[in-house]
Amino acid sequence: MPELPEVNSFKLYFDKTTLNQKIREVEVQDDKIMRNINGDDFIEKLTGRTFVNSYRRGKYLFGKLDDGNDVLFHFGMTGDIKYYEDDMDQPRHERFAFHFTNGYRLGFDCPRKFARILYLKDLEKYISEIGLGEDALIISENSFLEKLEGRKTSIKGFLLNQKLLAGVGNLYADEICFQTRIHPGSSISALRQKQKKDIYKVMQNILSIAVNRARNYKEEKTEDDFFQWRVKGQKAPKGKGVCKVEKIAGRTTYYFDIYQRLYQSK
């Protein structure tokens, strides 16, 4: 599933192809992924409009319309957007498309229909209602440490909690724990302040690198990518343990035993 860096790539693509282009026509092939509006109303409200800005917060991408309303693009597991002109380039599982006055379209592709599209009249109210936390790439160290204070949950559970920290998903949470050599099941209350600061710094570094790479989560991985170590049974760096897999915080989790120390409250 796309996480913060991948959604940031979607934002860059959206900004480059879609901003300031008047929507001549809206075509809806399947409105199942539209959660608070039906296809006909979506067509009516978007036809003739223009996206003038975009905003990303965690895994959520919002497109700002020229009438002050917003469209939420939450990509789910398989959502994608494609800018094209020729009918032959239409995505196979396109659910809707914006037809622009320049002859091009932006199609929303979603094979498994897990994406969520919402039409929003009050963006700030929506963010407040769902309790979306601070963006993991923007949050300050002090705010991050304050959110950790007094919590007894696992560090992975904290990193995945979108109400506390928006944008980190399963893959990046594992990578953060791997690079800090902390077992993802470690209790927050058992970690020293220095370790908490290290987690913050590593998180920021990993997300910054991934954002700068501007990669799409569907692209083929390269040797310099993160997550290459996530292979069950693989030996840990310097031979200290092997890669194991178990459920932590309700998610399939990869970690190296011994190499990543488990900290538990007494």
**Would strands 105-109 and 60-65 be described as parallel, antiparallel, or unpaired?**
unpaired
pLDDT digits (tens, 9 = 90+) for 192-214: 999 999 999 999 999 999 999 87
Give residue 77's pLDDT band: very low, low, confident or very high (50, 70, 90). confident
125-133 long-range contacts (CB < 8 A, ≥24 apart) are: 126/72, 127/57, 131/163, 132/57, 132/58, 132/60, 132/162, 132/163, 132/166, 133/58, 133/161, 133/162, 133/163, 133/164, 133/165, 133/166
Assign 207 to helix, strand or coil. helix
**How confident is the model at residue 248, as a pLDDT?**
98
Residue from 226, 204, 229, 205 nearest 217 by CA:
226
**Would strands 165-166 and 134-135 be described as parallel, antiparallel, or unpaired?**
parallel
**How confident is the model at residue 57, as a pLDDT?**
97
| Tokens at 247, concatenated | 């459920």
**Residue 161, strand partner residues:** none
pLDDT digits (tens, 9 = 90+) for 11-26: 999 999 999 999 999 9
Q: Where are the beta strands (DSSP E) in the chain?
A: 23-28, 51-57, 60-65, 70-74, 80-84, 94-100, 105-109, 116-120, 134-135, 165-166, 243-248, 251-256
Q: Which residue carries 């599982």 as its tokens?
A: 93
- Kindly state the average pLDDT of the residues 181-188: 98
How many whole angstroms separate alpha carbon 97 and alpha carbon 108? 6
- Kindly state the average pLDDT of the residues 123-139: 97
**How confident is the model at residue 60, as a pLDDT?**
97
Cβ-proximal residues to 245 (8 Å cutoff; 6+ apart), any chain:
232, 252, 253, 254
User: What's the pTM value of the predicted model, to 2 decimals?
Assistant: 0.92
Give residue 218's pLDDT band: very low, low, confident or very high (50, 70, 90). low
Give residue 120's pLDDT band: very low, low, confident or very high (50, 70, 90). very high
pLDDT digits (tens, 9 = 90+) for 145-167: 999 999 999 999 999 999 999 99
**How confident is the model at residue 107, as a pLDDT?**
98
Residue 26's CB is within 10 A of a number of other CB atoms, namely 19
How many whole angstroms separate alpha carbon 136 and alpha carbon 25? 36
pLDDT of 215 strictly over 70: no
Give residue 50's pLDDT band: very low, low, confident or very high (50, 70, 90). very high
Domains of the chain listed by start with CATH number: 4-130 (3.20.190.10), 134-226 (1.10.8.50)
